[in-house]
Structure 1
Amino acid sequence: MLTSPVHDCASSSASPAVSSTTLEVGEVRVSTDTEVETSIYNAHTSFSTFTKPHATSSDPCWNTMRRVQSEVLSLSLDDFCFIQKLGSGDIGTVYLVELKGHSNKGCLFAAKVMDKEELVSRSKEGRARIEMEILDMLDHPFLPTLYTTLDTDKWSLLLTEYCPGGDLHVLRQRLPEKRFDEAAVRFYTSEVVVALEYLHMMGIIYRDLKPENVLVRSDGHIMLTDFDLSLKCDGSIVMPQLVHDEGITSPKLGHNSNDQSSNHSPPYSSTSSCILPNCIVPHVSCWYSKHRRRWRRGGVGSQRPLRLVAEPIEARSMSFVGTHEYLAPEIVSGEGHGNAVDWWTLGIFMYELLYGVTPFRGLDNEFTLSNIVARAFEFPKEPIVPTMAKDLITQLLVKDPTMRMGSMMGATTIKQHPFFDGVNWALLRCTTPPHIPQNFNSTRDIVSSNDDDDDDYVDYY
């Protein structure tokens, strides 16, 4: 694993003739001094010409990077000052870097540095490639902007946005009671829901939602990070559908107990003969069709607005990936999983923000996995948590993925839950965040907690 290539910016710029960056891999030190080694500068850099509106509107680093790319033939490691290590992941280490040059002062990036030999030896090069492909696809205010990539003989780098607020795990730990209040949880969860909705529409199942992967930007809004565990589906797996609001109610709660079809609908069956828009999706039994007709007879259904739903419900993976305390039951049991795992992790995420702990944590990882599959979770008596928050968590933490909130209708269902009453989904970026980061003055302000959680990380295939 890479260790920190911390460099003093002042000293580097003072000696332009001998500029160096040193990366350490185990006991081997690789110097990139221009007078000693030039092979590492046989680097390929890639900069997307695709205009990303959310980046260019308020991000000076985007325009700076475009300008620099147009002025030089190819960027190299020597064009960046490595300030300090931000955190470590399974396939690389993230550093805070600054683009050198007087006119570029203050242009900071998060650089994920991956050792190519290590990726090959651990059969992780596919994951690194998928992450780069996903980052290059994204254009969303709550997801990273990929500024450029650098590819040398030994290293592969991804340069994305730097978030000075750290992650929500660190932020929660600094709170007096080690937990967020209801308003903060509603704010962070709503932005995560919108980010997941966008990813699912793009055919991407995130699979690694946790506070450590939710970063806080300089304006207080969030950014999901770390996509090397994500599942990138085939483009045809997501079929956008227009449905009426009356089809949004959860099957578990929208019908009384004597409506047996609501408890036995086969959402993943490919034998359904339903034709849209009479049903939510082609793979859901026709009980929704009857429900819609009952609304129409009452003269209400015709007034209901249409909603756009695009959820990769057909996606399937047998991979055993994630973080132990956040794994969905279907991943632990090995029965295969799909989009519903993201909505399970959203429930765990909310629970941890509200209570300061995760609901299924055991004495060790084996006990944790056993609890996830077999134990019904309970809400502690303290602290007092609003009923609507507990209701949403309960519907997200349904062990049967076919009955889990969001599994069929995705974020469309979740956004209508009463917990989010008052949230203006169209103007989330105009909402005042509960926490605005200060300019960082010490390593404590930006160091992530990821290094401390390596023992809880799962990555089995």
Structure 2
Amino acid sequence: MAWWQMLGISLASGLIGLWFIGIGWWYLRRANPNAVDPGDPGPSNESLVKQVKQTGRRPTGKVQELIAAKISLDLLPRLQQAAVEVRHRINEAFEAKESESQEETNGDLLKELSLEANGRGFVGARKGAPDVYVPPEPFLLNTDFREYRLKDLLGAGGFGRVQLVEELHSNQVPPPVAAWKALSKTAMEKAGMSSNVIMEKQVMAVTKLCPSPFIVSYHGCCQTPRYIYFKMEALLGGELYRTYVKNKHILSGSKVFARYYLACALTAVEHLHQLRVMLRSLKPEDCALDLKGQLKIFDFGLSKFIVDKTYTTCGTPDYFSPEIISSTGHSFPIDWWCAGVMLFELLSGDPPFTSDYPMMTYQKVVKGIKNISFPGTIPSDAKNLICSLCENEPNKRLPEAKGFEALQKHAFFKDFNWEGLSSMTPPFLPSSNEKNYGATEEDLHPCFQSPGDPKDIKNGGQSALVKQQISGLRYVYLTDRCIIHKWVNQ
């Protein structure tokens, strides 16, 4: 048979195959009218609401980062009430901001917030695009770095640094201080973590509108050509991990201290879950104390608004849950797993699954917490709580199976005053006469050590390069729809 005959037969076979595929697709669409067409831009806000009311289920299309997840008919009244509460918070916040004349707003921000407050969980990013949920924006920062003085380096790691900064022109004694977290745009872009920055900003924005005494206070964000800045409350009591290392003879193995710190962390996690935020990174290094000794979660670099499950592998191997390792998708229960691991570490000094090699750690995690040998420093009620939080099946973890109240009533928290937790005198008071943080210049990512790197917040901002940045960018506001790689080298 000639080559041209074989080619003709192949083409004919291909056309016949495509015809059968088309017939099959038509039949499936006819049999299941709710099937999703990949080319369909997605339903409108009105049709989504109608679909939820009629079916009591989430929309069949892909819903991106929707806070009002797991929608069912019995939840709709609560979601509507939550929307009303958010609207009141937004109005109060903007009125306070306007009266103080400290920050600015814009029409787009108010428009998006009003849409969200009116209960419209979906906001179209652009005409014809799938509807997405846009969490409330943080407040603007009207920032001139020459108005600040750098005092110290609070933290360093990953692609960021955290600096302690005080205001130069203030009548208060001592002057107000804040923590400025800087993230390198170039480093984040090269690592493919641009979306993490946007997500972190969104999460912190929501915690600003719906605060918790156990979550660091967030003031807003701004940018320079090289960096993205988050302004936050300065937690001068130091990281919980460093606090335990420095005061090991007092804190390590103590049920009193561990119970208080775990209660603060659990309350913060439950608050985040109510806001549809999965923290995904709960460990002593992500918690810090203020000078009164109260614990607050401060790192949201891996946090995420979620609908159902997410599949990104991230976090600290010692705190990986079985669903992270198996890549079967993870959700809110991962935070309860981390809480159990953290309690084990606070009472024993090391995480339960720690090993010299990551693969050995993963094997221990998969085998389960019940195969771990508990040291004598962990009492029986604490062991029971750790095991109930570190169930291999996510749905069997105590708060998921029986609710947060069941966690509060666990024997480990017997006679613990949950209602008075926020006003409780912490069991440990950090020293105010010494540094409770230990970051050094050597800990900084190379992007903060390169020659010619502008010291944005140093010596009153006297660098000519810094002045050039300030002149055009001090009022620039980070919007969710900015693409970080467009900012690099601008």
TM-score class, shorter-chain normalisation, is 0.5 to 0.7
Task: Give the counterpart letter for 2:255 in structure 1.
Answer: E
- Give the TM-score normalised by the residue count of structure 1: 0.63
Cα displacement (A) at 1:430: 2.1
Aligned to 1:28: none
How far apart are the structure 2 equivalents of 1:91 and 1:316?
A: 27
The answer to whether the 8 A contact 2:160-2:444 is kept is no
Aligned to 2:366: 373
How many percent of aligned residue pairs carry the same amino acid? 25
**Does residue 201 in structure 1 map to residue 274 in structure 2?**
yes
Alignment of 1:8-407 (within 5 A): 69=103, 74-103=142-171, 105-138=174-207, 139-177=211-249, 179-233=252-306, 237=307, 315-374=308-367, 376-377=369-370, 380=373, 382-407=375-400
How far apart are the structure 2 equivalents of 1:149 and 1:216?
A: 22
The answer to whether the 8 A contact 1:86-1:448 is kept is yes
Cα displacement (A) at 1:74: 3.0
Which consecutive aligned stretches of 4+ in structure 1 deviate over 6 angstroms post-superposition?
449-454
Cα displacement (A) at 1:151: 1.7
Q: Secondary structure at the match of 2:419?
A: helix
How far apart are the structure 1 equivalents of 2:441 and 2:283?
A: 11
The answer to whether the 8 A contact 1:170-1:449 is kept is no
1:374 and 1:66, CA in 2 relative to 1: closer, same or farther beyond 3 A? farther
Cα displacement (A) at 1:76: 2.1
Q: Secondary structure at the match of 2:386?
A: helix
Task: Give the counterpart letter for 1:115 in structure 2.
Answer: S
Which protein has the larger Cα radius of gyration, Structure 1 or Structure 2? Answer: 2
Paired positions, count: 314
Q: Secondary structure at the match of 1:162?
A: coil
Task: Give the counterpart letter for 2:322 in structure 1.
Answer: P
Q: Secondary structure at the match of 2:315?
A: strand
How far apart are the structure 2 equivalents of 1:145 and 1:435?
A: 21
Cα displacement (A) at 1:363: 1.5
How far apart are the structure 2 equivalents of 1:170 and 1:394?
A: 26
Gaps of at least 5 residues in structure 1 are 1-47, 53-61, 238-314, 455-461
The answer to whether the 8 A contact 1:164-1:440 is kept is no
1:106 and 1:91, CA in 2 relative to 1: closer, same or farther beyond 3 A? same
How far apart are the structure 2 equivalents of 1:343 and 1:209?
A: 9
How far apart are the structure 2 equivalents of 1:376 and 1:395?
A: 9
Q: Secondary structure at the match of 2:281?
A: coil
Render the CA deviation track for 1:35-73: whole Å, top value 9, x for unaligned.
Answer: xxxxxxxxxxxxx97767xxxxxxxxx99x957558x99
The answer to whether the 8 A contact 1:212-1:448 is kept is no
Cα displacement (A) at 1:440: 4.1
Cα displacement (A) at 1:152: 2.1
Task: Give the counterpart letter for 1:190 in structure 2.
Answer: A
The answer to whether the 8 A contact 1:167-1:215 is kept is yes
Aligned to 2:411: 418
RMSD: 3.0
Render the CA deviation track for 1:61-103: whole Å, top value 9, x for unaligned.
Answer: x99x957558x99312222222222222334211111122242
Cα displacement (A) at 1:450: 13
Task: Give the counterpart letter for 1:318 in structure 2.
Answer: Y
The answer to whether the 8 A contact 2:157-2:443 is kept is no
Render the CA deviation track for 1:379-406: whole Å, top value 9, x for unaligned.
Answer: 6564343211111011111112122222
Task: Give the counterpart letter for 1:119 in structure 2.
Answer: M
How far apart are the structure 2 equivalents of 1:68 and 1:402?
A: 46
Task: Give the counterpart letter for 1:143 in structure 2.
Answer: I
Q: Which has the higher helix share?
A: 2
How far apart are the structure 2 equivalents of 1:382 and 1:360?
A: 13
How far apart are the structure 2 equivalents of 1:159 and 1:353?
A: 29
Task: Give the counterpart letter for 1:172 in structure 2.
Answer: Y
Q: Secondary structure at the match of 2:214?
A: coil
Cα displacement (A) at 1:437: 1.6
Aligned to 2:25: none
The answer to whether the 8 A contact 1:169-1:449 is kept is no
